[in-house]
Amino acid sequence: MRTFVIIVVLALLAVGSFFLIRELEKQTTEVVKTLPTRKIATAYQVSVIYYDDQRRRRYQLVSDEVSEYSNSAGKRFTKPEVTAFDEQNEISWLGKAEKGHLASGKQKLTLSERVNAIDSPNAKRPIYIEGSLMYYYPQKYELSSDRLVTIGDKVSRQQSDGFLLNTKTKQLAVSDRVRARFAVSGSADTKDKKDK
């Protein structure tokens, strides 16, 4: 009887292991599909303009290096600089980063490592945003992050665990956890900035 129980337990373990391995293979196969495989093309000192379905200029990317991969996982950029445009073809926001990735459908631009963005750069009080990771969805006019960012203008700075900026309506939403600092005219903080 004892031998029979051991055989049944071993059989159950074998069947369970088989299904666990199959599930793990499915999960890793899905991840591998989105990761870049081998480079099939690389271009240097590239400037590219992307248009929407109505043939309006959405954004321009200037990059030191652009790489395309064999599994159509999109394009990778080195030191990308982004100029995004609104519906009137005016500059909506500017951004730059160490790295960038444009998804194959061109619906999502990811900027990573030392990302700096300026919303409404021609306005009297543009908004400056710094962080480690930001996403731009050109069809929705949305710039966002789910990581720690610093958002500021000439008189205030705040840190947030994320933000969502609609570049069309100019509405900025920040996460619940915000830390802010304001510079009052004539304060020591403002004087330090002027001395530098």
Give the pTM: 0.70
Q: What is the pLDDT along the chain (196 residues), one digit of tens a residue?
A: 788 888 877 777 777 777 667 776 665 544 444 555 678 889 999 998 988 888 889 899 999 999 987 766 788 999 999 999 988 889 999 999 999 998 877 789 999 999 999 998 888 889 999 999 999 998 899 999 999 999 998 888 889 889 999 988 988 888 877 766 665 554 444 433 333 3
Residue 120 and residue 189 in one domain: yes
Residue 78 and residue 51 in one domain: yes
R_g of the chain, CA atoms, integer Å: 24
Identify the domain containing residue 20 by its residue range: 1-34
Own/partner long-range contacts of 152-156 (Cβ < 8 Å, ≥24 apart) = 152/127, 152/128, 153/125, 153/126, 153/127, 153/128, 154/125, 155/182, 155/183, 156/180, 156/181, 156/182, 156/183
CATH number of the domain to which 145 belongs: 2.60.450.10
Residue 122 and residue 143 in one domain: yes
Residue 121 and residue 74 in one domain: yes
Q: What contacts 52, CB < 8 A, 6 or more positions away?
A: 58, 138, 139
Q: How many domains does the chain have?
A: 2
Residue 4 and residue 55 in one domain: no
Tokens (6 digits) for 144: 């966002």
Tokens (6 digits) for 139: 């069809």
